[in-house]
Structure 1
Amino acid sequence: MKLFSGKLSIVQLQWLVWVFFFIIIILSLMQNDGFLQALTYAFLNSSFYAVIIYGNILWLFPRLYQRGKVVLYVLAVIVFLGGIGVVRGYITMSIYNALFAQKPETMSMKAMSSFVVSSLVIFLLSFIFRIAIAYFELKRQSDEIIAKKTQAELNLLKSQVQPHFLFNTLNNIYYEAYLEAPRTAGLIEQLSNIMRYFVDESPKQVVAIGTEIQFIENYIELEKIRIRYDIGIMFDKRCDISLSIPPMLLMTFVENIFKHGIDKSSTDNKINISLLQDDGRLVFATENTVPQVPQHAASTGFGLANLRKRLELLYKDDFELSTQNNGDIYLARLNIPLI
């Protein structure tokens, strides 16, 4: 079963090939020779064949040919095969005379030539052997990659169990809260949508503009809970919401408004947000009043700096990002190409 399930290693597979090859040689020689003679010559021939094949694919070919030493490789092959043929011929004849011949025989040039020619044939087969090893090694690596990918997908599914369990729990709380406190239920629903966005949408390369708008609106509604007084918010949306943009590009501006641009003790906080489609580009602009006492001044600017780096990676220099502080009004503007 290991053979057909692809679980054999490259070394095990090669041993299996040599065992089959050894058995085939024995069966072919037994037609004319006895079992002992066939076994002896099968072992002898298999050993020399292995020396030729591995001598080429593990030593001669990588050390000479692959390093550009073609002429030296050809000369080395000639010497190698000639030497192997001569040694194999004399050993074969010696074993035959010692164990199986009725009377000693001498090595003829014709017999020696046949050993050299057969060595050349095995040498040519070594390239097929090398290709086969490379193929199975590549297949093994491919199977490992597929297995790791499958495991990664399984781990991802496992990692999504807890967030989705939380979503389901929030939904249950929502239905319970809806009966007693509809406003609280609405906030729970918005929180659930924001969390679902982070899990399902933010890892994507692009998301629909409509999805991004919904995310921003949910975020605004949750942020408004922390503000004592009502905020005047205008959100002008004039664009095709089915078009796509990278996720979380617009969020930095909105987040900065609530971090640095809201005076919780003031009754005069105003926010204007516009999202416009203009000649194949998307223009996102925000305008908010500046509090008399700066909020989180030490951290101001890091979000925009990170956003600029991300924009450079996404669009190189095909974008515009600008901010302007007029004292009592803070303006931010982003212009990017639409996908």
Structure 2
Amino acid sequence: MKKIFLHNTFKNILFWIVMFLYLLSSYWFREDNKIYITTYIGFKVFLQFILSLIILNVYIPFLLHKKKKVLFIFVVLITIYIIQILYSLVRVYYFETFYPEVYKYRPPYVLVERMTSFVAYVSNITWVVFPSIILIAIKHYQEQKDIIALKEQKKTTELNLLKHQLNPHFLFNTLNNLYALALKKSDKTPEVIAKLSEILDYILYQCKDNYVPLEKEIELLENYIGLEKVRYGNRVEVIFEKDLHDNLKIAPLILLTFVENAFKHGISQELQKGSIHISISAKEDLIVFKLSNTKPPTSISLEENDKKSIGMSNIIKQLDLLYPNAYDLKINESNSNYNLRLELHEKV
């Protein structure tokens, strides 16, 4: 916090030094009395500083941010008028008194007229408000950057939370499969453990980014399908078609949940041989994922299962976050089949 304060203080000091030097350079070669012009410009910059200090730290937070726009404009105009009076008094009673040679050939500066002149007031607005406008613009830009950064931070936090919820969900289902094989004392248990190790290595260490290469996700699906085929054996037929023309990226673990649900809610309840048909195509900026699986006619609707599924609800939330207005998910279900089509437009 202290570093941020010092950094902002340094930037403010630098801004006013630059403003002073800019104005001084504009008059430096037109005025012979360098002490006068330095003092005069310093005084004008001081008035600009006072106005900007009041506007940025009092009027904006206590009036403009509280939707009191009319009052904000009114008090700003009044403050500028007060500064005009202060400027006029200092010019007449200080600068014209101590530097008479500078004003010897200039038109007389009638104090009352200058303090009540609308033309003089408008003229003063131009130079006295100029730095404040710049600072307000800079502050607004910084606030917008902070808002965007906070939104991104919130989005990242929410995505990480969803992934942390999803990983235990997947692990729970897979350990159930492993437990079933262990009870049967199956010789395939070591193979399942090896595949599970590869899958977890990918989930825990290789998919931390919001988007990963599609090839990596396909490899994950192949490992998972291999894991399930060890469990179900001849009870399931899996067809996996790939048509990849471009190296696209995809949000991690999106497709895994769909495939996992096909096994869990479809194939696991089949009394006869079930089938799963998966196809993935990638061309230009579009990824199309299709999944179709059989299910027992008497089973609970997979759509109802999807509504109750933690994994599926998390996937929908991730799609909303990572593919806003850039995805299309369609699910159709009959008594014996479950069909899903997901279109993703690449976001990176």
Give the structure-1-normalised TM-score.
0.50
Please say if 1:50 is aligned against 2:51: no
- The answer on whether the counterparts of 2:24 and 2:41 sit within 8 Å (CA) in structure 1 is no
How big is the shift at 1:236?
A: 1.8
Uncovered stretches (5+) of structure 2, i.e. residues with no partner: 1-6, 154-186
How big is the shift at 1:202?
A: 7.5
Question: What is the rounded CA distance, in whole Å, between the counterparts of 2:344 and 2:260 in structure 1?
Answer: 23
Largest Rg, 1 or 2: 1
How big is the shift at 1:207?
A: 5.2
How big is the shift at 1:274?
A: 0.8
2:293 maps to amino acid: T
1:32/1:239 CA distance change after superposition, 3 Å: closer
Please say if 1:215 is aligned against 2:220: yes
1:28/1:95 CA distance change after superposition, 3 Å: farther
1:214 maps to amino acid: E
- The answer on whether the counterparts of 1:275 and 1:283 sit within 8 Å (CA) in structure 2 is yes
SS across alignment from 1:110: coil
Q: How does 1:41-120 map to 2 (within 5 A)?
A: 46-47=42-43, 49-51=45-47, 54-55=50-51, 58=54, 67=69, 80=82, 83-92=85-94, 96=98, 110-112=107-109
Question: What is the rounded CA distance, in whole Å, between the counterparts of 1:76 and 1:288 in structure 2?
Answer: 77
How big is the shift at 1:212?
A: 3.9
Q: How does 1:297-336 map to 2 (within 5 A)?
A: 302-303=308-309, 306=313, 318-324=328-334, 331-336=337-342
SS across alignment from 2:109: helix
State, as a whole percentage, how many aligned pairs show the same letter: 18
SS across alignment from 1:256: helix
Aligned position for 2:3:
none
Question: What is the rounded CA distance, in whole Å, between the counterparts of 2:318 and 2:92 in structure 1?
Answer: 74
- The answer on whether the counterparts of 1:275 and 1:285 sit within 8 Å (CA) in structure 2 is yes
Question: What is the rounded CA distance, in whole Å, between the counterparts of 2:33 and 2:106 in structure 1?
Answer: 23
How big is the shift at 1:283?
A: 3.2
How big is the shift at 1:201?
A: 4.6
SS across alignment from 1:322: strand
- The answer on whether the counterparts of 2:275 and 2:294 sit within 8 Å (CA) in structure 1 is yes
Please say if 1:272 is aligned against 2:272: no
1:245-279 deviation digits (Å, cap 9, x = unpaired): 65544433432354455669x9x76331112579x
Bigger helix fraction:
2
How big is the shift at 1:288?
A: 4.8
1:122/1:24 CA distance change after superposition, 3 Å: farther
Uncovered stretches (5+) of structure 1, i.e. residues with no partner: 1-5, 102-106, 152-180
1:240/1:198 CA distance change after superposition, 3 Å: farther
How big is the shift at 1:191?
A: 3.0
SS across alignment from 1:273: strand
1:250/1:285 CA distance change after superposition, 3 Å: farther
1:335 maps to amino acid: R
1:190/1:82 CA distance change after superposition, 3 Å: closer
Aligned length: 274
- The answer on whether the counterparts of 1:235 and 1:274 sit within 8 Å (CA) in structure 2 is yes
Question: What is the rounded CA distance, in whole Å, between the counterparts of 1:136 and 1:88 in structure 2?
Answer: 31
Q: Which protein has greater RCO, CA pairs closer than 8 Å, 6+ apart? A: 2
SS across alignment from 1:234: strand
Q: CA RMSD of the aligned region, Å? A: 6.2
Question: What is the rounded CA distance, in whole Å, between the counterparts of 1:93 and 1:213 in structure 2?
Answer: 79
Aligned position for 2:293:
286
Out of 173, 193, 196, the residue aligned to residue 202 of structure 2 is 196
1:291/1:259 CA distance change after superposition, 3 Å: farther
Question: What is the rounded CA distance, in whole Å, between the counterparts of 1:93 and 1:311 in structure 2?
Answer: 68
Question: What is the rounded CA distance, in whole Å, between the counterparts of 1:315 and 1:75 in structure 2?
Answer: 45
Question: What is the rounded CA distance, in whole Å, between the counterparts of 1:289 and 1:299 in structure 2?
Answer: 14
Question: What is the rounded CA distance, in whole Å, between the counterparts of 1:204 and 1:75 in structure 2?
Answer: 50
